[in-house]
Amino acid sequence: MLSIWLSLMNLVTRDLLSLVGTRSNHFLIVQAGQFKDGLDMSAIREVKFLQELSHPNVIGLLDVFSSKSNLNLVLEFLDTDLEAVIKDRELVFQASDIKSWMLMTMQGLDFCHQNWVLHRDMKPNNLLIASDGTLKIADFGLAREYADPGTRMTCQVVTRWYRPPELLYGARAYSTGVDIWAVGCIFAELMLRTPYLAGENDFDQLSTIFRALGTPTDQDWPGHKRLADYVEFPIQHKQPLELLFSAAGDDAIDFLECCLKFDPRKRINSRQALRHQYFNSTPYPTNPQKLPKPKGALVPRQIAPQDGGAGGADGRNGNGLKKRKSVVDNSGKDVEMEDRTRKIAKRLDFS
């Protein structure tokens, strides 16, 4: 994973050497890896896809540079994330708020999918939120191109609580359905204010899914018994989603069911999702600027890293965020940053 260093600094031009003393827009610096150890594949993917993807609901890569032995990314600064919003019990959500977050998520994801990119780690703390309320998809360290439908890929992707059953059963060939399942789990979490399918390990994750959605049959999911890591589970019957999501309307329930189909070929795709009645019925999505945000969201926060599987002991694998210590002189300039930028030896071009 990337080691993310947050810094409340300002950007006037993409030339890092001219950053010193400027104060306009916030950005953050990401230390992506060290050359002495060889660049991690996640760092290379992060740079590659962020340079290719430019969309209002995808985090922006402003620059890439090296300093000493480190590769650093300059990203737009987004001061909070959807996980922080969900966990803040002082915030009250309206159905229109949830619809707004889901719409921005699906718009960003649709742009990725239309450009043949699988994110493969959709979860609330990878959905960052700007000061104007705009939600942006971040962390492309596990992203992958998928133009060839027969390409074999690793199944050890997507944080466990948001991982679809085909990956838990060891599927090596998959497509956009893995991201759609994760979005369905995020949608459920927004409505419940707690993770919907929170397994303790991969086996328990499948068990948790089947307790909630029933054990899949051959009719529900043809061919799933031939997957590499298939394990048979006792037959359980699906619990009606209306019972758990009692405050959700019919359109919301239908949209959730479309995202959480066992057969990935039957799941709704991102383009179909944007045309779903859920997004075209009342209540209409809240204006992003009016969405609720945690108190003090503009202040950088430290998020402790978690372990366990691809998603941590609790199913999450968030990046550890650290505040960058800085020294400011009497003129208001960041002395440490001025010193660091003067030492930049070269600029990298991954285009």
Predicted confidence at residue 298, as pLDDT, reads 56
Q: What angle (nearest 5°) sits at the alpha carbon of residue 231, between those of residues 225 and 236?
A: 90
Task: Classify 208 as helix, strand or coil.
Answer: helix
pLDDT for residue 314 is more than 70:
no
Q: How far apart are CA 2 and CA 181, in angstroms?
A: 24
Structural domains counted in the chain? 2
pLDDT for residue 325 is more than 60:
no
Please check whether residue 240 lies inside any domain of the structure: yes
Which tens digits make up the pLDDT trace of 144-160? 998 777 789 999 999 99
Determine which one of 79, 121, 179, 202 is catalytic.
Answer: 121
Verify whether residue 121 is a known catalytic residue. yes
Kindly report the CATH number assigned to the domain that includes residue 32.
Answer: 3.30.200.20
Last residue of one domain, picked from the residues 268, 290, 312: 290
Average pLDDT along the chain: 80
Residue 65 binned pLDDT confidence (cut-offs 50, 70, 90): confident
pLDDT for residue 77 is more than 60:
yes
Closest CA to 341 of 51, 39, 15, 31: 15
Predicted confidence at residue 304, as pLDDT, reads 35
Among 8-12, 27-31, 137-141, 177-181, name the one with the lowest average pLDDT.
Answer: 8-12
Closest CA to 272 of 151, 176, 158: 176
Closest CA to 333 of 62, 6, 23: 23
Q: How far apart are CA 74 and CA 347, in angstroms?
A: 12
Indicate whether 73 and 85 sit together in one domain: no
pLDDT for residue 306 is more than 80:
no
Domain of 70, in residue numbers: 3-77+320-347
Length of the chain: 351
Closest CA to 270 of 118, 53, 145: 118
Residue 335 binned pLDDT confidence (cut-offs 50, 70, 90): very low
Indicate whether 136 and 17 sit together in one domain: no
